[in-house]
Amino acid sequence: MREVAGVDGVPDGWVVVRVGPPTRGAAGGGTVTWAVLPDAVAVVAATSRCAAVGVDIPIGLPSGSARRACDEHAAARLGRARSSVFPAPPRPVLAAASFADACAVARELTGRAISLQTFHIGAKIQEWDRVERLPPGLVEVHPELSLRTLAPEIGFAPKRTARGAGQRIAALARWVDPAVALADLPTGARLDDLLDALACAWSAARWARGDAEVLGAETDERGRTMRIVV
């Protein structure tokens, strides 16, 4: 199998991790390469040779009042950690210039406002929504769901705590060697962003092998599939 990639948003763009196939006799992933790239177009170009790419951002947006089925399924699976799921808003909400305007548009279209966190990631969602043609191997991933599937027995602490970071590194060690994966990290990304990207790559590897779980299978008005791959 070729390389897979995981992608997570950072303040100045996107952190991308590419994980090679395991070396002969190894149980987990192989070589690990990191980069911080400025926009979605650059990410698509840099990962064009990958077998699959997992991105922590909504791909496919709802219309009308109903939330995406994949967001509902993910929230239900996450239980107490369901607050990490930001339901994807309709496209007109993303075009609003202010939080107040975005909430007004959301109330008109869906009957409820959006969260401030959702408003803050609106520009990131728009970046991917503006990419004309997404590669068929690029899929939406929710890293917290990936981690809980990889290590279901771990009661994860918040990801920005030392305990939470340690738990995530221990979980990901079941797939990649932390001494390899974390040996040469890029600037411009926090540790939790880097671990989220690795979790996205884990789900991308499952997608490439054909054994990933898929939450949701609706199609939006642009023809994009609204699903979360685990």
Amino acid code (one letter) for 96: A
Per residue of the chain (230 residues), give pLDDT as tens: 799 999 999 999 999 999 998 765 555 668 999 999 999 999 999 999 999 999 999 999 998 888 999 999 999 999 888 888 888 999 999 999 999 999 999 999 999 999 999 999 999 999 999 999 999 999 999 999 999 999 999 999 999 999 999 999 999 999 999 999 999 999 999 999 999 999 999 999 999 999 999 999 899 999 999 999 99
For the chain, the structural domain boundaries read: 4-57+133-213
In the CATH scheme, what architecture does the domain 4-57+133-213 have? 2-Layer Sandwich (3.30)
Q: Which of 27, 14, 60, 21 is nearest to 222 (CA)?
A: 60
Give all strands of the β-sheet with 32-37 in edge-to-edge order: 32-37, 13-19, 4-10, 52-55, 138-140
CA distance 61 to 129: 8
CA distance 140 to 132: 16
